A and B are shown apart, each in its own frame.
Chain A
Amino acid sequence: MSNVINAQHLTLAYDGGAKEIIKDASFTIKKGEFVFITGPSGSGKSTLLKALYGALKPTEGSLVVGGLDLASVGQSKLQELRTHLGIIFQDYKLVNEWSVAKNVVLPLMIAGYSVDVQNTQAQRLLKHVKLSEHADKYPLELSGGEQQRVGVARALSKNPVVILADEPTGNLDDYSSNVIWDLMENACQQLDTTVLVVTHKIPTIFSLPYRHFIIESKGVYEVH
Chain B
Amino acid sequence: MKFIKNHLMFILPLMAILLGIEFYLVFDRTTNSYEKGLKEGYSMLVVTKKPMKLSMFQALNRHISSSEKIKRENIVSEIAKGVSKNSNKEILAALPYFYNVRLDSYLSTSGLEKIKTDLEKDKNVKKVETFGSSYSSSYRLFSFIKFTLKLFIVFMGVVSLFLIIKQMEIWKYAHKERMQVMEIFGAPLMLRSGVLFRVAIVDAFLATLLTTAIFLYIKFQWAANSGIDIMMQNKTELFKMTDIAILLVSALFIVIIAVYSVVFSSKGVEE
Contact = CB atoms under 8 A, between A and B. Distances in A.
Nearest to A87: B184
A55 B191 contact: no
Contacts of B187: 79, 110
Given A80-B186, A110-B186, A55 B181 contact: no
B185 A87 contact: yes
A153 interface: no
Nearest to A154: B185
Contact of A82 (B178, B186, B191, B271): B186
B268 to A, nearest CB: 7
Interface centre among A83, A96, A106, A107 (most CB of B within 10 A): A106
Contact of B268 (A55, A76, A85, A94): A55
A110 B182 contact: yes
A106 B188 contact: no
A107 B185 contact: yes
A106 B271 contact: no
Interface in A70-109: 76, 78-83, 85, 87, 93-98, 106-107
A25 interface: no
A110 B185 contact: yes
A175 to B, nearest CB: 26
B270 interface: yes
Contacts of A94: 181
B186 A95 contact: no
A55 B184 contact: yes
Contact of A95 (B181, B188, B271): B181
B122 interface: no
B113 interface: no
Nearest to B271: A55
A64 interface: no
Contacts of B186: 78-83, 85, 107, 110
Contacts of B185: 82-83, 87, 106-107, 110
Interface in B157-188: 177-178, 180-182, 184-188
28 contacts: A53-B184, A55-B184, A55-B268, A55-B270, A55-B271, A56-B271, A76-B188, A78-B186, A79-B186, A79-B188, A80-B186, A82-B185, A83-B185, A83-B186, A87-B185, A93-B177, A93-B180, A93-B184, A95-B177, A95-B178, A97-B178, A98-B178, A106-B181, A106-B182, A106-B185, A110-B182, A110-B186, A110-B191
Given A55-B184, A79-B186, A95-B177, 13 more contacts: A76-B188, A79-B187, A82-B186, A83-B185, A83-B186, A85-B186, A87-B185, A93-B177, A93-B181, A93-B184, A107-B185, A107-B186, A110-B186
Closest 4 CB pairs of A and B: A82-B186, A83-B186, A79-B186, A110-B187
